[in-house]
Amino acid sequence: MSQDAPHIPVLLSEVVAALCPRPGMTIIDATFGAGGYTAALLEAGASVHAFDRDPDAIAAGGALAVRFDGRLALHPARFSAMRHELAAIGVTQVDAVVMDIGVSSMQLDQGDRGFAFMHDGPLDMRMSRDGESAADFLNTADEEAIADVLYRYGEERQSRRVARAIVAARPLVTTGELARVVRRALGHKPHDKKDPATRTFQAVRIHVNDELGELEAGLAAAEALLAPGGVLAVVSFHSLEDRIVKQFLRAASGAGRSVSRHLPGEIQGPPPTFAQVSKAIRPSEDEIARNPRARSSTLRHAVRTQAAPRSLAA
């Protein structure tokens, strides 16, 4: 991937079309990153609250905040906390929320962040640069716990073999060391299409950053913050993320729910909080050619109804 790739937001035109940004709108960019979505929303006249737990992303966003003085607020926080963060400044409803889930290309391309094995660097992987690192986890957790993470978040079928090899090779300090251990455990041939270490790196990164837990909490926060008619748009990059988004929207829209008229005592569930749920939207071949990172992306969006958030409905 070229050095320009980190600055290309995926499915940008589709996200903008779903959100329909315009002057007077307040929109949350839950995953600011390099600011690609935020810049497009600001240029359309909207005001943006941008969240990112990565201090590097927030620092880099300062120039954009100056350019659009008064319409961009940068929040150095996890997007799962966006409801609390905005309540503290008196914002209780917004017109749209966009989320671009997972690790950013900027983080992958910075060897010192330890997210990938393309560049040898410290075994870190922390988006927020604090808390337990990948090295901390891999060098202290027992074999069973490591295997469970690899299987659950990396869908690694030989998770026990890899975990056993990791424990035997401890202590691990760099991304290169971890990659070599995994390759030896699984057998790596130079002509293999996919590096066998990919699944392990994905799994450890997701675990260290609690990415799936963050996604679930972020979706609930978006449901609570969106005004009636507001739009939620979520871009995901692998099946674990997309499954959570799909199931959330399915449950929130009442899809698949049925109440029999023959059982008058049956208790109905809460009214749907989302409607007009889109099908999965994939990037075009032209976009993939311009930005290979877009290949695995999926966009889903939906419109908020007038129903109370489910977390507050009971």
- How wide is the angle at C-alpha 203 spanned by C-alphas 140 and 74, nearest 5°? 100
Task: Provide the pLDDT for residue 3.
Answer: 39
Question: Which is nearest to 138 in space by CA: 127, 153, 149, 129?
Answer: 149
pLDDT of 117: 75
Domain at 18, CATH number: 3.40.50.150
Residues of the chain under the 50 pLDDT cut? 1-6, 313-314
89 and 158: one domain? no
Looking at the structure of the chain, the number of domains it has is 2
CA angle 300, 301, 305 (to 5 degrees): 145
pLDDT value, residue 194: 85
139 with 19, same domain? no
Are residues 200 and 124 part of one domain?
A: yes
- Determine the structural domain holding residue 89 and report its residue range: 5-106+211-257+266-313
pLDDT at 192: 74
Same domain, 232 and 100: yes
Q: Is the dihedral of CA 16, 19, 24, 29 positive or negative?
A: negative
How many angstroms separate the CA atoms of 241 and 243, rounded?
5
Q: Read off the tokens for 62.
A: 């300062």
Task: For residues 100 and 30, give the distance between their C-alpha atoms in angstroms, rounded to a whole number.
Answer: 7
* Per-residue pLDDT, 259: 52
Looking at the structure, tell me whether residues 98 and 225 fall in a common domain. Answer: yes
> What values do phi and psi take at 85, rounded to 5?
-60, -40
Cα 26–chain centre separation: 21
pLDDT for residue 128: 87
Q: How far apart are CA 22 and CA 44, in angstroms?
A: 5
Regarding whether 26 and 94 lie in a shared domain, the answer is yes
Is the same domain home to 175 and 29?
Answer: no
By DSSP bridging, strand 226-236 and strand 298-304 are: antiparallel
Q: Which CATH number characterizes residue 198's domain?
A: 1.10.150.170
Within 8 A by CB and 6+ apart from 90, the residues are none
Contact indicator for 70, 9 with CB cutoff of 8 Å: no
Considering the domain architecture, whether residues 93 and 150 belong to the same structural domain is answered as no
Asked if 101 and 129 sit in the same domain, the reply is no
What residues form DSSP beta bridges with 234? 99, 300
Whether residues 286 and 218 share a domain: the answer is: yes
E strand residue ranges, the chain: 26-29, 47-51, 72-75, 94-100, 226-236, 274-275, 298-304
Pair 217, 83: CB distance under 8 Å:
no
Give the H/E segment covering residue 274.
Answer: strand 274-275
Distances (CA, A) of 236 to 4, 132, 262, 295: 21, 24, 41, 11
pLDDT, residue 270, reads: 82
**8 A C-beta contact, residue 26 and residue 46:** yes
pLDDT for 266: 55
